[in-house]
Chain A
Amino acid sequence: MISSTIGIWNYWIVFCLMMIGLFLVIGRKNFLKKIVGLTIFQTSVFLLYITFGKIKGGTPPILNESFESIYSNPLPHVLILTAIVVGVATTALGLSLVLKINTEYGSIEEDDISAQDLVDYHDDIKTGKSVDLKFKQ
């Protein structure tokens, strides 16, 4: 029982980590936090893949002539290796978009930005003030 629980414990926690990442993306209004959430989600997916590739008693997939051994599955390692580097490049792209948004709006909070858009839309100071009040409550 304990052995089988430990055997799928990794999956449980990895799914929890994924959901925390998803929550940071959809629940938080701060754009930087959203990008951090994406990173968390990404890393937990990597963990899931690598967990699939593990073989009990296996060694890292580097061939050695001196002793015969079982090698863990190298295929997920290859897929994830490239995905990590691509992930950081795309994270940088997201960060640069956040920087641009901050320069344009002076804020990276989603509520703040949509309020400003509303002000622009109505193009009217009175409406602007009422939206501002609603935003502050």
Chain B
Amino acid sequence: MHNNPILRISTKILFAPIILFGLYVQFHGDFGPGGGFQAGVIVASAFILYSLVFGIEAGKKLFPSNINLILLALGGIIYGGVGIVSMLLGDEFLAYNVLGSSPQSGQHIGILLVELGVGLTVSNVMIALFNAFASYDNIKEK
């Protein structure tokens, strides 16, 4: 697919809008359908499209594997961290009421951060899965 100009150019045009749509789904999840799980998959699909058209190596240059692995773990840490912070502020694990000035704003902040953590983990897991499958070398060991 490296030589097809239509695919290359349409990928370059589509890449940014897909990420933008992913961010919209991520941060609009409070008001409409959407949230971290869907947004993570949509953002991952942009990177997967890039890797499919330009090759795995170009995809890894765009989004290096070590950053991928760090972000993969960071999502879970953000989620757990919100719980720990709410514990430090004197409430139970993952009780968001204490995070903001009023219970409602605390809930808003908590849900936003938690969804961010979910989105980071899901998107990076999907990219890592695709990279692992695509760059698997089918050689018997020993």
Q: Which A residues are within 8 Å of any B CB, using their own CB?
A: 60, 62, 81-82, 84-85, 89, 92, 95-96, 99, 102-104
Contact = CB atoms under 8 A, between A and B. Distances in A.
Interface in B28-83: 31-33, 35, 37, 41
A60 B125 CA distance: 29
Given A62-B32, A62-B33, A81-B37, A89 B125 contact: yes
Interface of B: 31-33, 35, 37, 41, 122, 125, 129, 132-133, 136, 138-140
Contacts of A82: 37
B139 A95 contact: no
Nearest to B137: A103
Contacts of B133: 92, 95-96, 99
Contacts of B31: 62
Given A85-B122, A89-B125, A92-B129, A99 B37 contact: no
Contact of B136 (A60, A62, A92, A99): A99
Nearest to B41: A85
B37 A85 contact: yes
A51 B129 CA distance: 32
Contacts of A96: 132-133
Nearest to A60: B33
